[in-house]
Amino acid sequence: MHFKGKADIKDRMSNIKSKIYILGLSCFYHDSAACLIGDGKIVAAAQEERFSRKKHDPGFPKNAISYCLDEASIKSEHLDYVVFYDKPILTFERLLLSYLSVAPKGLRSWLKSMPSWLGQKIHVPKIIQKEIGYKGEVLFTEHHEAHAASTFYPSPFDQAAFLTCDGVGEWATASYGFGSGKDINLLKELHFPDSVGLLYSAFTYFTGFKVNSGEYKLMGLAPYGTPVYKDIILKELIDVKTDGSIRLNLSYFDFIGGLRMTSKRFERLFGGPPRKPETNIGQREMDIAASIQSVTEEIVLKMANHVYKETKLDRLCLAGGVALNCVANGRLLTEGPFNSIWIQPAAGDAGGALGAALSVWHRYLGKDRLSSEKKDSQQGSYLGPQYANSHVKEFLQKKQYSYHQLEKNNRASTIAGQIADGKIVGYLAGRMEFGPRALGARSILGDPRREDTQSKMNLKIKYRESFRPFAPTVLEEKASEYFEIDRASPYMLLVTNVRKEKCLSQSPHDGLSMLERLKIKRSDIPAVTHLDYSARIQTVNRNDKPDYYDVIAEFERLTGCPLVVNTSFNVRGEPIVCTPEDAYRCFMRTEMDVLVMEDFILYKEEQPLWEKTKEWRDEIILD
Ligand SMILES: [Fe+2]
């Protein structure tokens, strides 16, 4: 036991006082999160779902806040400012006016939304005070201001244009402008109901996926289809202006007055009712996915071209849910006017917590930026909790689970050897990622060269739809040998093509089912090559994540292949694991072969019998 002397305490207290702490919060819509900055540096950021174990948890982020305060060893009374990422009164006004514009039709949806408004959203300062005992001032940023700040301030650019694009925040659905030093200048906004995010979500709903969570699946489905509905979408559903702004034909949508996204008229246009969730995905859904994906990419490209024309800046920062569409991002990089693009890894509303906090520091308090032109200040997005070896060991011993301790000289080679043997490895190491992507801190790893890795991971480990592709993590210096990319992609937000020389020519696969097409080997790295020869890549370098880099470097030494499959450490519908306990549970519930937690390795066959709660999958609501 180590008792801290008075000097230690005094030292810690003086540290506390010498820093200005700002807590940013996003909650009550979807993806609640908290972020703490100390003197402008990001100290910690995490989504509430990782602690509460409820995917996209919209509730007050009590656990995430408590983690952030712990990380800085402070209490809520040491906070100088708390800031909320949205102005609830403006959102309330939008809901009220939208309802009045269609009344009495929208009464049911209006009544449905009211309890959460009267109970929570318009009482944010009181809730903050009650939940965490903070008595100081609560500030509010506008929603798209928070998105813009979340991407410009941590970016490595001193000056850059920004574009934010999402479903809706208050009134805005997209915005653009430019940042310069500590200033952010908004030039224009696009307003509700004209929204690229809502348009994409309407198609997500119509193809049988969950809104605000299944958008990724729609994007993954797109390469299976042909964009046969593209012209219809452009002719009937939306009017796309030359500046990329859009006008929705509201007779096809039902999100203002109804409880659904699309109207009967929409159904007639696309040949019948929406696909029921969990039923077969047909050619219609694949073609719709291809069509709306192509339309979205064109809108994003048009918007970006316009932003470039207006700002004359050759760097762009992106945020908002639409910025998670990595296929559109990849096209923007190759076909768009900008030399360089930086995308906030937590581009959705969770990132609003980070943007709001940074906005207070730079815009409200007028403090200068810390980031340099060389490197962003996102710290690899490894901003969440970490569990020391001592903690992991204590957990394993207490539970009497079988484990082996790895040493510095054999850690990477042992893990890489397992992957090369075709084993699927759960990997928990270092601080948890902030944002929806697993970047090697909470990941499941596999061998990209094996044809069966994709179906094994999808069906036996993730329990998810088999059409969904996996992403590779590749050593940064080797990325261009395998992929058509000439820059780093540390946050897995860009889709690029697998190099032609790594691809295998294919005979036409007309008439084959989706699963049959999936089984055709497309490249030397089939597990990460999507149907259209694309891959959503993450690059890793030794400075940012040495433990993970070393594993892949060893895998290359063993196999000649400088990349691994990297998918998030969870099963379908479950948030990504946070603690060693979450990781072990996921390891034992699935057919994962090996679990690595910091410097410990666990083999499935050595584990004590796992008491299967037979309905454990019922606890998880499918996403
Ligand atoms: Fe948003």
pLDDT in tens, 86-130: 877 667 666 666 656 655 566 566 566 655 655 565 678 888 888
Answer left, alpha or beta for residue 43, where phi above 0 means left and psi between -120 and 50 means alpha.
alpha
Please tell me the distance between residue 172's alpha carbon and the centre of ligand 1 in angstroms. Answer: 9
Q: What is the pLDDT of residue 5?
A: 42
Please tell me the distance between residue 174's alpha carbon and the centre of ligand 1 in angstroms. Answer: 9
Distance CA 324, CA 346 (A): 9
Please tell me the distance between residue 87's alpha carbon and the centre of ligand 1 in angstroms. Answer: 12
Q: What is the pLDDT of residue 451?
A: 85
Q: What is the pLDDT of residue 603?
A: 98
Please tell me the distance between residue 107's alpha carbon and the centre of ligand 1 in angstroms. Answer: 25
Structure tokens given for 79: 């906070």
- In degrees and rounded to multiples of 5, residue 356 shows phi and psi of -65, -45
| Amino acid at residue number 67 | Y
Distance CA 456, CA 460 (A): 5
Q: What is the pLDDT of residue 308?
A: 97
Structure tokens given for 28: 């009550």
pTM above 0.75, yes or no: yes
With a cut of 50, list the residues of the chain below it in pLDDT.
1-7, 10
Q: What is the pLDDT of residue 253?
A: 86
Please tell me the distance between residue 249's alpha carbon and the centre of ligand 1 in angstroms. Answer: 22
Q: What is the pLDDT of residue 7?
A: 45
Please tell me the distance between residue 345's alpha carbon and the centre of ligand 1 in angstroms. Answer: 13
Contact 85, 24 (CB under 8 A): yes
Q: What is the pLDDT of residue 622?
A: 67
Helix axes 546-559, 411-420, angle to 10 degrees: 50
Please tell me the distance between residue 82's alpha carbon and the centre of ligand 1 in angstroms. Answer: 19
Strands (E) in 339-451, as ranges, are 340-343, 404-405, 425-428, 442-446
Please report how many Cα atoms fall inside a 13 Å half-sphere around the Cα of residue 437, on the Cβ side.
28
Q: Minimal CA–CA distance to 308: which of 526, 162, 519, 200?
A: 162
Please tell me the distance between residue 322's alpha carbon and the centre of ligand 1 in angstroms. Answer: 9
Please tell me the distance between residue 167's alpha carbon and the centre of ligand 1 in angstroms. Answer: 6
Please tell me the distance between residue 184's alpha carbon and the centre of ligand 1 in angstroms. Answer: 17
Please tell me the distance between residue 259's alpha carbon and the centre of ligand 1 in angstroms. Answer: 20
Please tell me the distance between residue 143's alpha carbon and the centre of ligand 1 in angstroms. Answer: 6
Please tell me the distance between residue 279's alpha carbon and the centre of ligand 1 in angstroms. Answer: 30
Q: What is the pLDDT of residue 297?
A: 96
| Residue 423, Cβ density class (10 Å: 0-12 exposed, 13-18 middle, ≥19 buried) | middle
Please tell me the distance between residue 595's alpha carbon and the centre of ligand 1 in angstroms. Answer: 35
Please tell me the distance between residue 147's alpha carbon and the centre of ligand 1 in angstroms. Answer: 7
Please tell me the distance between residue 531's alpha carbon and the centre of ligand 1 in angstroms. Answer: 30
Please tell me the distance between residue 350's alpha carbon and the centre of ligand 1 in angstroms. Answer: 8
